[in-house]
Amino acid sequence: MASNKIARTNDDIQRVLSALLTQIKDPRVRQGMISVTRVETTGDLRYAKVWLSVLGLESEKEFRRGLRSASGWLRRELGASLSLRHTPELVFEVDHSIEQGAYISGLIEHLSAGETEE
């Protein structure tokens, strides 16, 4: 029963954060197309680890600094949107899986284009 509640909470946090990230005006955060790929919340709902994938990321270090700066605002807006006893503290991680997938897809296309030329 508790795992279903945490799974629903993770989905809600993911949905709300996806909308909120588009509203951040900090240029350190607005480096590319941001998508929330996954959210994992601890059992006591005190911490939420949020994985973000950014297509077109210029500087990961500056991106993390911008997120750290905006985390208070994000947490407050998240608390206003969701009715939780405790609004979890947000911990951000950069997910490189979409970039890796695009790179591999490009390699496959390049290889298949080479085969058609022969």
Alpha carbons 44 and 2: distance in angstroms, whole number: 10
pLDDT at 56: 80
**Cβ contacts of residue 100 below 8 Å, gap of 6+?**
none
Domain boundaries, position 89: 2-117
**∠ Cα 93 99 105 (to 5°):** 150
Q: What is the mean pLDDT of the chain?
A: 87
What is the tally of structural domains in the chain?
1
pLDDT at 116: 63
61: CATH: 3.30.300.20
Q: Given a cut of 70, is residue 42 above it in pLDDT? A: yes
Residues 63-115: pLDDT tens digits? 999 999 999 999 999 999 998 888 999 999 988 887 788 889 989 988 888 76
Task: Output 3 or 73, whichever has higher pLDDT.
Answer: 73
For residue 117 the two structure tokens come to 């030329």
Residue % of the chain over a pLDDT of 90: 47
Write phi, then psi, for 103 (nearest 5 degrees). -65, -45
For residue 7, is it left (φ>0), alpha (ψ between -120 and 50) or beta? Answer: alpha
Angle of the 2-21 helix axis to the 60-81 helix axis, nearest 10: 120
